[in-house]
Amino acid sequence: MEEFKEKIPMIIAFVVVIMLIFGAYYILFVYKDIYYTQIDNTKIEKIASSDDMKYQYTLIAYDKNGKEKEIQLKTSRELKEDAYLELEIMLTRGVVSWKEVEVNELPDRVKEKTNIKQD
């Protein structure tokens, strides 16, 4: 019984390390934040790239609580002016996917931050 009591701190340390590793993996490679932005074609630049992404937007985006973040979005073409986008953003990779959304799909706090009139 004494030997087991002596090993308890090691077991606890091992469990804590494993939890930290899984937590870090989740935050860095799995977890995605959702942000919303509006396309402004004055914020686009043509980039030299080896893949099919030829343009890069630098835009202000907002999460559902209205928290602001500057994002960079690479695309293969110019996007429709004033279109609203929902972005999936990963900490390590930036924008990993996006889709166009209607104004009524935006969270209320995003509408407030962007001065969109609410119905």
Residue 53's pLDDT is what?
86
Residue 84's pLDDT is what?
95
- CA dist 34 and 105 (Å) reads 13
Tens digit of pLDDT at every position of the chain (119 positions): 778 888 899 999 999 999 999 999 888 888 899 999 999 999 999 988 767 889 999 999 999 999 999 999 999 999 999 999 999 999 888 999 999 999 999 999 999 888 775 54
Residue 115's pLDDT is what?
75
Return all residues near 96 (Cβ < 8 A) that are at least 6 apart. 32, 88, 89, 90
Residue 7's pLDDT is what?
87
Q: What is the DSSP letter of 118?
A: P
Distance of alpha carbon 44 from its chain centroid, rounded? Answer: 19
pTM: 0.78
H or E stretch covering 23: helix 2-25
| Closest of 114, 117, 107, 118 to residue 40, by C-alpha | 114
